[in-house]
């Protein structure tokens, strides 16, 4: 039995099927993937800032200790940030904890910097 001769003549190079998929389809899927990846990156950049939560004595800080201008209780905040201070007892001493936050409390960021300092006051 003789096989009939079949001639395939693509009319457009983009329409040539490779492994069951067209080049145009592969380019389209890659473009969608790249757009999705870009969108995820932008969404992550726009996501609310999370604290790094460094612990110094009894202070849980949003940023690394000592990142604020000044030191100890005399630290200062950049423009637009509010100085938030609280105290706790650890190792028999009173500790001061502070952060520069834009939120209404020290729990609400974003945070610019953090500071912790020990005192000579017993507790």
- 9-34 tens-digit pLDDT: 555 544 444 555 555 565 555 455 44
pTM of the model: 0.56
Q: Are 69 and 83 in contact (CB under 8 A)?
A: no
Instruction: Return the residue matching tokens 């492994």.
Output: 19
Tokens 């952060």 label which residue? 99
Q: For tokens 């912790």, name the residue.
A: 116
pLDDT tens for 40-94 read: 443 433 334 444 578 999 999 999 999 999 989 999 999 999 999 999 999 999 9
SS3 39: helix
Token output for 87: 């105290």
Instruction: Provide the residue ranges of all domains of the chain, joining segments of one domain with +.
Output: 13-46, 54-122
């Amino acid at each position: 039995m003789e096989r009939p001769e079949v001639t395939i003549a693509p009319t457009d190079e983009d329409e040539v099927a490779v492994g069951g998929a067209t080049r145009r389809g592969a380019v389209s899927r890659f473009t969608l993937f790249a757009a999705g990846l870009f969108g995820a990156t932008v969404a992550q950049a726009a996501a609310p800032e999370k604290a790094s939560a460094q612990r110094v004595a009894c202070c849980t800080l949003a940023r690394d200790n000592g990142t604020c201008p000044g030191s100890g209780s005399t630290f200062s905040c950049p423009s637009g940030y509010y100085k938030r201070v609280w105290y706790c007892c650890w190792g028999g001493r009173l500790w001061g904890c502070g952060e520069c936050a834009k939120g209404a409390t020290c729990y609400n960021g974003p945070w610019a910097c953090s500071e912790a300092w020990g005192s000579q006051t017993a507790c």
